[in-house]
Homo-oligomer: A and B are copies of this chain.
């Protein structure tokens, strides 16, 4: 049983949790359709040298790599200083314009369905992944666009859009993007919605279930799904997953009027903890010309930060972080003709894990206040552990976590490899984990951690600047465990 939280005053009829009979698309039908998309949607991605990028070039004055239109994104340099010293310098993607990641939802037989898209992106390890209805930069759908319009976009913007249920700016990878945010939207359609070729209707439960497959549900879909404050589970007894499942369902319950509810800490305490974490940040990051951070090989500038660029790539000397390369995309569908663009390729896989623990029968997540140099507001709430490519357990700074993860004294409830944004990153994979510790694990944690319920995080997702993109991904995965 699921309790539907009213998404707004317009108060559409409550969507019931679906029985199998209420699914518009059965799981078998979905997988058959998906296999067809895989066969149909092939395209080839080939590395090219930077000077074959045509409409992209390095600015002769700054070394920044950008599009000749001045739009889309640029690759620039970032310098971070703290207490008069430089603590980090690296290339970073700067994309100031805000795009839309939007899902159309609609009731069929009283059950809410999501309109999902089979979308190919050049950086995906497996060509296509399941994406939101609309996934478009402003450059895609405004001035720079050439070719057909973005399908279903009119349902999200303009005077005739559908009823807005969710509309919030959320951050993306603070390690690779400079202050990037996208508009996460959900709209409720009431009239007829014609189904276009690469789209499918799936129930919320079906979409969440797909997080249990490697590299199927893309990052953009995961973040939008995490921001849906409705259809939260509310009956722990009806769940057959034992103590963990029951504790998880309780973790979605609303707070009591006191603001505390089932949570160890009040929402006021949580906000104060977060404010405190921000005030501890004493670093400031700035964009600088890419030439300052990653000079062209063979120039007199030297490479103080350990980054350099040649004809084929921009990379760190140690090969631990990432490289920026150029690709040519040749698509074999009738809609897209092929294009060239830069991509950021991490030198390995990331790992993000939430540690969870029942407290009085209610599941709590151990959240970290994580500074990331590319975040607009410096700190967001993040998974307990997040290792970037090139990092391993030795890089976990806190002994209590390092030893726990080494010992393996945890129960794993979720362990899948999922992809990050395939439009900007090449083969960027993250191993996402949800791990449970028992009640002997201490509730007293260092100051940059705190224990929260799922509901407390869900409530904060009405606003931006709170949960980072990895935490949002894991919230969507967690939902599949109900």
Contacts and interface: CB of A to CB of B under 8 A. Distances in A.
Interface in A274-310: 275-276, 278-279, 282, 284, 286-287
A79 B279 CA distance: 27
Nearest to A274: B167
Given A98-B279, A465-B465, A165 B268 contact: yes
A271 B462 contact: yes
A373 to B, nearest CB: 14
B97 A282 contact: yes
Instruction: Determine chain A's interface SS by DSSP, over half rule.
Output: loop
Contact of A287 (B259, B269, B279, B286): B286
A11 interface: yes
A259 B465 contact: no
A40 interface: no
Contact of A275 (B8, B169, B268, B465): B169
Given A98-B279, A279-B183, A463-B463, A271 B11 contact: no
Contact of A98 (B84, B98, B278, B465): B278
Interface in A101-130: none
A8 B266 contact: yes
A260 interface: yes
Interface string A159-186: 0000011011100000000000001000
A453 to B, nearest CB: 13
A84 B96 CA distance: 13
Interface in A412-440: none
A244 to B, nearest CB: 26
Given A6-B258, A97-B282, A463-B463, A275 B168 contact: yes
B168 A271 contact: yes
A42 interface: no
Interface string A392-429: 00000000000000000000000000000000000000
Contacts of A465: 377, 464-465
A463 B84 CA distance: 31
A7 interface: yes
Interface in A255-276: 257-260, 266, 268-269, 271-272, 275-276
Interface residue tally on A, bucketed by range:
35 or more
A60 interface: no
Contact of A269 (B70, B164, B260, B286): B164
Total identical chains: 2
A81 to B, nearest CB: 10
A445 to B, nearest CB: 15
A247 B10 CA distance: 24
A376 interface: yes
A465 B377 CA distance: 10
A13 interface: no
A195 interface: no
Nearest to A8: B268
Contacts of A279: 98, 138, 169, 183
Interface in A1-27: 6-11
B7 A167 contact: no
Contact of A183 (B275, B282, B376, B464): B275
A11 B6 CA distance: 28
Interface string A131-168: 00000001000000000000000000000000011011
Contacts of A266: 8-10
Interface of A: 6-11, 70, 83-84, 96-98, 138, 164-165, 167-169, 183, 257-260, 266, 268-269, 271-272, 275-276, 278-279, 282, 284, 286-287, 376-377, 462-465
* A-B pairs, 10 with minimum CB distance: A9-B260, A167-B272, A8-B268, A9-B266, A98-B279, A9-B258, A164-B272, A167-B275, A8-B266, A96-B284
Given A8-B258, A9-B258, 18 more contacts: A6-B258, A6-B259, A8-B260, A9-B259, A9-B260, A70-B83, A164-B268, A164-B269, A164-B272, A167-B268, A167-B272, A169-B275, A169-B278, A183-B275, A271-B463, A286-B287, A463-B463, A465-B465
